[in-house]
Amino acid sequence: MTTPSSAQSSDLTSGAPDATDATADGAIVRTENLTKTYQMGPSELTVLREVSIDIKQGEYIAIMGPSGSGKSTLLNLLGCLDRPTTGRYLLGGQDISLVDDDELSAIRGAKIGFIFQSYNLIHQLNIIENIEVPMIYQNFSESASEARARELAELVGLGDRLRHRTTELSGGQQQRVAIARALANDPLIILGDEPTGNLDSKSGKEILDLLDSLHQQGKTLIIVTHDDDVSLRAQRVFHVLDGRIERIDVHDN
């Protein structure tokens, strides 16, 4: 398999980060004893316990585990949608635990691409406009963001239906739009929470192929899944159980 560094990266999905984006040993994502506790009335519910992981630039990571084990919670923390109760999270060398809400939004907007199980497209907008959403908050001009959205739509194979409403698309097509949207800000990491969970096996496979090609172009992927097909494609699989990383499988593909 091609190494990330030798990937034929187009300028749309140039995965190579700045030198400053990684910690000294090359980890783009590093957590140190991440703990997440929810206050449920008088009692506390600890969902993540002392999770310490390192993910390098260009890696393809799968996160697996039984329902309720804390996979989504971990992914939300990695995606800067939430802050850990204790512990540190360094994204591209920047300590996320210390920044305020505005800064967190800015980091999400600049460094993270999300793919959701239920696609989460805005149905009032057409395909192009959906792909443009992250770029609005990155201060793209209208013409620049539209041009980029068009290219990304081509890239995910939807170049022929740019002005369609999202409700006119199949699940697989919607997920492609979501992937194009996740690429719009040229993120440091792409996070997927069961991206194939709502799809039949055929369109699920198409999405996975698309993710594979992104990986080959040097993108860093972190995908939560119940699907063994996904984990087989990943380089490392984190097995989560009861809020802990129980085991890490390394695939030699």
Partner 1 sequence: MFLLRLKRTVKLGAKSLWMHRLRSTLTALGIVFGVCSVVAMLAIGEGAGRDAQDQIARLGAQNIIIKSIKPPRSDSAKTGTNRYEAYGLSYADVRRIRDTVPHIQEVVPKRLITLQATYRNRSVTVQVIGTASWYGEVHPMRLLRGRFLAYMDEKRQQKAAIVDQQVVDQLFAVDDPIDTNIKLKGDYFTVVGLVAPSGAAGPAGQDAARLKTGGRAGDAAVGNIYVPLSTFKTCFEGSRERVELEELTIKVDSTESVLLIRDALEVLLRRFHKNKDYQIIVPLELLRQAARTKRIFNIVLGSIAAISLLVGGIGIMNIMLATVSERTREIGIRRALGARRSDIIIQFLSETLLLTLTGGLLGIALGLIVPIMVTHFGDMPTVITGQSLIMAFGISAAIGITFGLYPAYRAAHMDPIESLRHE
Ligand X SMILES: Nc1ncnc2c1ncn2[C@@H]1O[C@H](COP(=O)(O)OP(=O)(O)OP(=O)(O)O)[C@@H](O)[C@H]1O
User: Which stretches of the chain bind partner 1, using CB under 8 A?
Assistant: 76, 79, 81-82, 101-102, 105-106, 108-110, 114, 116, 120-122, 124, 133-134, 136-139, 141-142, 181, 185
CB burial of residue 143 (10 Å; 0-12, 13-18, 19+): exposed
What's the residue count for the chain? 253
Residue placing its CB nearer to ligand X in the complex, 30 or 71: 71
Q: Does 196 bind ligand X (CB under 6 A)?
A: no
DSSP codes of every residue in 99-117: --HHHHHHHHHHHEEEE-T
Torsions phi, psi of 247, nearest 5? -160, 145
Smallest gap, in angstroms, from Cβ of residue 45 to ligand X? 5
The one segment of 65-73, 96-104, 108-116, 236-244 that binds Mg ion by CB under 5 A: 65-73
Site string for ligand X, 23-52 (x = CB under 6 A): ---------------x-x----x-x-----
Place of tokens 């140039």: 14
Q: Does 72 bind Mg ion (CB under 5 A)?
A: yes
Pairing, β 27-40 against β 43-51: antiparallel
Task: Count CB-CB contacts under 10 A for residue 120.
Answer: 13
Q: Which of Mg ion, partner 1, ligand X, none interacts with 47 (beta carbon under 5 to 8 A by kind)?
A: ligand X
Q: What angle do CA 191, 245, 236 make, to 5 degrees?
A: 55
What separation in angstroms does the CA of 196 have from each of 11, 80, 127, 227? 27, 22, 20, 8
Residue placing its CB nearer to ligand X in the complex, 67 or 141: 67
Q: Does 175 bind ligand X (CB under 6 A)?
A: no
> Interaction with ligand X in 47-106: which residues (CB under 6 A)?
47, 65, 67-73
Q: Is 62 in contact with 43 (CB distance < 8 Å)?
A: no
Q: Is 144 in contact with 208 (CB distance < 8 Å)?
A: no
Q: Which of Mg ion, ligand X, partner 1, none interacts with 101 (beta carbon under 5 to 8 A by kind)?
A: partner 1
In the complex, the residues that contact ligand X under the rule CB under 6 A are: 38, 40, 45, 47, 65, 67-73
In the complex, the residues that contact Mg ion under the rule CB under 5 A are: 72
